[in-house]
Homo-oligomer: A and B are copies of this chain.
């Protein structure tokens, strides 16, 4: 940090294992289940490598089904409560495109595949991102069942997103996504919530 800089930068980096992950050479995952299973595998590896919470997400080109940017939950290692998997994936996609809005080109649209239904923050962030379709694996209730708070959402949240021009598909490979949440719970992973007892678990 240069001497002239009083306040630190924000820097959030994907884990090394994710940079080295063997994505398909063309990064195209034509079927919805394939895209979700890839994301669920990233959530599982994030738990296995102890690089964050049991959540992953990825931005795909909604027409070609090419992976644009993956994300995993990095709240604990990056010291940033905003570093949820969805925020990480969306922001890396925006860095890749060098624009804050993914919907600039009318010929292209983008899909966010999330291993668990987004929390209230990530849900609201979708509207600013240019994402046009949300695909969810596990439900809000599945995350709450292992102790994660999901925040206060506008209900019904699906209607709220659709009013903002964002399509929604839920319960894609839900059981497989839930299995990763349960794997994290069995490992006694840190449950880092807001108000409600943020410091349970073994890592804190």
Contact = CB atoms under 8 A, between A and B. Distances in A.
Contact of A95 (B4, B79, B130): B79
A29 interface: no
Interface string A99-131: 111011000000000000001110111111110
Contacts of A9: 11-14, 95
B152 A124 contact: yes
Contacts of A164: 152, 194-195
B127 A195 contact: yes
A5 B13 CA distance: 10
A134 interface: no
Question: How many protomers of this protein does the assembly include?
Answer: 2
Contacts of A103: 198
Interface string A182-204: 00000000001111001100000
Contact of A82 (B20, B98, B128): B128
A149 interface: yes
Contact of A101 (B92, B129, B192): B192
* Consensus secondary structure, chain A interface: loop
A165 to B, nearest CB: 4
Interface residues of A, number: 67
Interface stretch (A83-91, A138-146, A173-181): A83-91
Interface string A63-104: 000000110000110111111000110111011111111011
Given A8-B92, A75-B128, A104-B199, 18 more contacts: A8-B95, A78-B100, A79-B94, A79-B98, A79-B99, A80-B95, A81-B100, A81-B130, A101-B192, A101-B198, A119-B128, A121-B121, A121-B128, A127-B151, A128-B193, A128-B194, A152-B164, A164-B194
Interface of A: 4-14, 16, 18-20, 69-70, 75-76, 78-83, 87-88, 90-92, 94-101, 103-104, 119-121, 123-130, 149, 151-154, 160, 163-166, 192-195, 198-199
